[in-house]
Structure 1
């Protein structure tokens, strides 16, 4: 992909693996990137600094992306927030989710795992977009979802190998860096699912499953992503039973660790201090 002139992008994402990958891809193509981990910080960033566009995660703890966008459009962060283009970034590919994003005032809708071509096309389009014009179709540059197949691979190394900074040799070790970040995040996410199952907290379990689905797909851990997607759908449609979820996740965790030669630490003893839904 040809490198474009620099665009000032604010990335709002509270899941560390996805945040780092999006930032690295944007910087690789020459864009200036500022990253924050929540809606409140995003409003503050727009209030204090000039950005050409916002890449906004939809599900965050302190203030989700939809409410953050509503606050921007209401002028809470100053006049720039009323017109700055906002690209939604979400692991949810349902039409109702897209419609909700657009209704909140977002301009575009991309799904996770992030497709580099779709992301850069949207950033280039909206980064050059004249503030306040409505001629463009807000769904024109929407990305395609990546749905795990019935028998997904435990791990596909081609996903990280295809990252532009890895493929062109400029950051050959980034695939290992982001994989280490992913494995560091796993015990806490699996622990919160176990705790939520024990206490009957379906909302907490759904948020953790959503985050795990997104980060797993981003690094190519497709079997874990499928397990998380199934758990999220199970809870999203109102099912209260969760006893079967921890053993399923433990099995996928063990399979992934075995395949990649990673130490399989007991997830039951991991302490979870803060949720990181995406």
Structure 2
């Protein structure tokens, strides 16, 4: 079997997905599959740059916040005409849990072409991908229209206000199935992986609050928040998103007040999935 670097460009899928979180990778791959698009994956920015230096892709989906080199730093290298990548003009779509206008401007200023927030809203994701990479959805994968509409509603309601959190499901199985490409086996695998990830997941977040480490708090809540949203853990997602916002705003006291809620929601998800 040929190594990746020995493959011809004709054998390389059109999309390079750059994402360090396996759950988020799986969801994005399923959504691309539903749109009839294949993808390679890179687990970090450095790996992405190596692949872009040996092969040309038609589109890059770039996570913004990754350990080590960030997606913004990687984009700046890709756009640098003196770098080793083969296509400096390849379209790059940012994927991030950061949703402020300041975040969008930072991504676009670095040279990205579009901006998507996590959890991925299905209709928006498909629209953006097909704008940069026009394809006809595979008839084998079914009609996208019903899933797109429902997925947009589920994604939008994932960020419900704190007072409404109790009315949200612990796990939105309908949303999960949509993000799994209507594949029950993939949905079960996502839940299994998330259940494993939740083991002691609150400890580094609590430790960051106790230590007053806002950077660590933002990092830990960000990593868990995107995965929670993508598997339909809507109540947990809401708490994590609020804590992450407080961390970025420098409001440690407000984040600390949410620690009991965080433990409650982590326990609720683990109970449902056990």
Q: Flag whether TM exceeds 0.5 (same fold).
A: yes
2:78 corresponds, among 72, 75, 97, to: 72
1:77 offset after TM fit, Å? Answer: 4.5
1:219 alignment partner in structure 2: 231
- Contact 2:221–2:240 (Cα < 8 Å) also in 1: yes
Flag structure 2 segments of 5+ consecutive residues without an equivalent. Answer: 1-11, 136-151
Flag structure 1 segments of 5+ consecutive residues without an equivalent. Answer: 1-5, 130-142, 263-278
TM-score by length of 2: 0.79
Is 1:237 the counterpart of 2:253? The answer is: no
Taking a change above 3 Å as real, the CA distance of residues 158 and 199 of structure 1, as seen in their structure-2 partners, is same
1:203 offset after TM fit, Å? Answer: 0.7
2:142 alignment partner in structure 1: none
2:111 corresponds, among 94, 97, 105, to: 105
2:174 corresponds, among 155, 158, 168, to: 158
Is 1:202 the counterpart of 2:214? The answer is: yes
CA–CA separation in structure 2 for the residues paired with 1:19 and 1:75:
29
1:163 offset after TM fit, Å? Answer: 3.2
2:88 corresponds, among 82, 93, 97, to: 82
Which whole-Å deviations, capped at 9, do the CAs of 1:159-209 have from their partners, x for residues lacking one?
A: 11223631xxxx332111111111222225423212323333221111111
1:226 offset after TM fit, Å? Answer: 0.9
1:132 alignment partner in structure 2: none
CA–CA separation in structure 1 for the residues paired with 2:200 and 2:65:
18
- Contact 1:85–1:127 (Cα < 8 Å) also in 2: no
Taking a change above 3 Å as real, the CA distance of residues 207 and 81 of structure 1, as seen in their structure-2 partners, is farther
2:263 alignment partner in structure 1: 250
1:75 offset after TM fit, Å? Answer: 3.3
- Contact 1:28–1:164 (Cα < 8 Å) also in 2: no
CA–CA separation in structure 2 for the residues paired with 1:261 and 1:123:
32
2:129 alignment partner in structure 1: 123
1:7 offset after TM fit, Å? Answer: 6.0
Aligned residues, how many? Answer: 239
TM-score by length of 1: 0.78
2:195 alignment partner in structure 1: 183
Is 1:173 the counterpart of 2:185? The answer is: yes
